[in-house]
Amino acid sequence: MEFIIILFIVMFVVLYRKSNGESLYKFVTTSIGNVYDKYAPYSFKVIREKCKEMGLEYTKKEYTIQTILFAAIAFVISYLYFYNMVISFIYVVVVIAFIPYLAYLRCKRLYSEFIFEQIQVYVTNTIMEFQTTQSFVKALEGVYESGVLEDPVKTDVKVMIDLAYHNGDVGESIDYMNSKYDFYMTRNMHQLFLQVTREGAHDTVEVLDNMLLDVDQLVEGVYQDRMNRQAFHKSFVQYGLLLYLMVMLVQWLIGKETYIDMVNSNILMQIGLHIVVLFNSYFLLSGEKYYNENVGAE
C-alpha cells in the first residue's frame, strides 16, 4: 500500500517539475496526446483524421476523463476479486493500454456510418441527375459539381469522371467505384447504368424510380437497425459489468473474511479468478468489436 502511494507521489512531482510553469493538466493531456499519436497504428491515424474533420473525435480532455473512468472501474473490480493493491494496479495498466484500441473501433464505426451516408447521397443524386441528363457521365459531373458530396467519395467520383473520359467508356470507372465501396445499392445502380450506356434503353424512368424506392427502404432499415443495435449495446455493456460483480454474491454467501483467506491461501483459486476476469473482459471486448465493426449497412 505504501509503495503505491509513494509511486503516485513521485509521478506527480516528476510531472509537475517537467511542466515548466504550464498547468499540470495541460502538460498531462499534451503528453498523453503525443504518446497516442506516436504509437497509434497508421490505419487508425487515417480514420482518426477523418473523424476530426467531421467533428466526431474525442478531445484530449475527453480521452483523459475516459482513461480515469476506465482505470477506476478496473481498480474497483480487480480489488473486489483479489483485495491486492499490486494486482489492481497491474489490471489498471492493462485496461488503459486497451483504450487506444477502443478509440480505433469507435472511430472506425463512425467513419463507416459516414461513408454509408455519403454513398446513399451519391446514389440518390446520380439517379436524379441521370433522369435529367440521360447520361451517366453527365450525371456524375452534376453530382460532383453540386457540392453534396464530401471526401473521400467526392474525390473518387472525380476519378470516375476522368477515367470515363480517358477510356471513352464507363466500365473501368464503375469497376473502380465498386472496388472502393462494395455496397448493394452502388453495384445495382452501376449495373443498370452500364447496361444503359452500352446497350441503350428506351424507358428507364420506372426502373430508376423503383431503384430510388429500394434505396429509401434500405436506408430506413439501416437506421432502424442502428437504433436497435445502440439499445442492445447499452444493455450488453451493463450485463457485462454485472458479470464482474458476481464475485460479490460469492462473498455474501461465504463471508468476506472467509473469501479473502481462501484467495490468499489458495494459488489455484487465484488463477481461477484471473481466468474469470479475463474471460469476462474478452466477452466485453468481443462484443464491443462486433458492435463497432458491423454497422449494418449491407
The residues spanned by each domain of the chain are 112-215
Can you say whether the dihedral through the CA atoms of 74, 76, 78, 83 is positive or negative? positive
Rounded Cα–Cα distance for residues 151 and 228 (Å): 29
How would you write the pLDDT of the chain (298 residues) with one tens digit per residue?
Answer: 444 444 444 454 445 455 554 454 455 445 555 555 555 544 666 777 778 887 778 888 888 999 999 999 999 999 999 999 999 999 999 999 999 889 888 888 888 889 999 999 999 999 999 989 889 999 999 999 999 999 889 999 999 999 999 999 999 999 999 999 989 899 999 998 888 887 776 677 788 888 889 888 888 888 888 889 889 999 999 999 999 988 888 899 999 999 999 999 999 999 999 999 999 999 999 999 989 887 655 5
Rounded Cα–Cα distance for residues 99 and 68 (Å): 11
Nearest to 295 by CA among 123, 110, 100: 110
